[in-house]
Amino acid sequence: MIPKRKEQTVKVTIFGGTGFVGSYLIDALLEQGHQPVLLVRASSKHKVQQPGQCILVDGDISDPVAVRTAIADADAVIYNIGILRESPARGETYEALHFEGAKQAIDAAQEAGVRRFILMSANGVKPDGTAYQRSKYLAEQYLASSGLDWTVFRPSVLFGDPRGRMEFATRLYREVIRSPLPAPLFYDGMLPTAAGMFRMSPVHVKDVAAVFVKSLQMPATAGHVYALCGPDALTWKDILQTIAHATGTGKRALPAPVVLIRAIATALDKFAFFPITRDQLTMLMEGNICDDEQTVETFGVAAIPFNEASLSYLQAER
């Protein structure tokens, strides 16, 4: 457990505080009376949620001085930097941001004597997986060997009001449901007998943020890896239909052979306009459900289901 200071606040440094999950982490920290500290690039300051109540440190994760400054005098660190697609020309690679950035933050926490460290990972990470999965796995392993009081969270796909950022359901609405083309029901093999039947357990971003913040005051969570999933394991087909219904639209769907999509992605996934990469397709077909579907409940959070009511924010997309 992190002891509260005399002014009854816990100072928490967040790396990745301007993104989708980061904005909800700030809300959750402030609701519990904690003080968020954010490392922020000058070009991203306008993205900070409730900036008047946060301490902002100029810089980015590649600057060791800025990282140490952000962590100085903190009680805990949350590493939440993540990307879904690489952009090497801008220095945005899985290795640089998921592993090297996390490594730098972990080392800085050790140097500063900050014991509590929480890492945002992803469900399905493994040493022999995609580049995305490997980079997250390496960060987990480095943290586990650090000697810090660490906790790792591995969420499934996250959904919730995007607040102008990238988000799972919004992206599917824009790229699949709103498209004039039929929705693709991906399948492996020669026959489409299981087209679109791989499963996911979307978890609401508010639940994830609540669990992160709760863990700060739960010493028993140190040294553990937790999967975070929503209450239902839904098929890809169900997810697309739910998004279509939430936006008051109908959507035709057709089987789509993965072998064909993968071949196209091989040629085009280096271009940002192509909606899916080979690695993303691989992870999609693996499914994304949790072995421990009760983790959210373990933290005393009533899980928000992936349904039309919880997707009401998509109405703004119409």
pLDDT of 273: 74
For 315, residues 6+ apart whose C-beta sits below 8 A from its C-beta are 246, 247, 248
pLDDT of 3: 61
**Whole-angstrom distance, CA of residue 33 vs CA of residue 205:** 20
**Whole-angstrom distance, CA of residue 104 vs CA of residue 146:** 12
> What are the helix (H) ranges across the chain?
20-31, 64-71, 94, 101-112, 131-144, 168-172, 205-215, 236-246, 258-268, 278-286, 295-298
The answer to whether residues 201 and 289 touch, using CB atoms and an 8 Å cutoff, is yes
| pLDDT tens per residue, range 107-136 | 999 999 999 999 999 999 999 999 999 999
Q: CA of 127: how far to CAs of 83, 144, 153, 286, in Å?
A: 18, 15, 17, 15
Encoded tokens for 237: 């087909």
**Whole-angstrom distance, CA of residue 150 vs CA of residue 163:** 29
Encoded tokens for 26: 């700030």
The answer to whether residues 132 and 117 touch, using CB atoms and an 8 Å cutoff, is no
pLDDT of 5: 56
For residue 72, give the 3-state DSSP assignment: coil
At residue 85's C-alpha, the angle toward residues 88 and 232, to 5°, is 165
40 φ, ψ to 5°? -135, 135
**Whole-angstrom distance, CA of residue 118 vs CA of residue 107:** 14
Going by their DSSP bridges, the two strands 183-187 and 158-159 should be labelled as unpaired
**Whole-angstrom distance, CA of residue 52 vs CA of residue 49:** 9
Residues in the chain with pLDDT values less than 50 = 6-7
Kindly report the pTM of this predicted structure. 0.94
For 56, residues 6+ apart whose C-beta sits below 8 A from its C-beta are 37, 38, 40, 45, 48
For residue 41, give the 3-state DSSP assignment: coil
| pLDDT tens per residue, range 202-247 | 999 999 999 999 999 999 999 999 999 999 999 999 999 999 999 9
CA dihedral 302, 307, 310, 314 (to 10 degrees): 160
- C-beta neighbour count of 267 within 10 angstroms: 9
Beta bridge partners of 57: 39
Cβ burial of 285 (10 Å; 0-12, 13-18, 19+) is middle
The two most distant CA atoms of the chain are separated, in Å, by 65
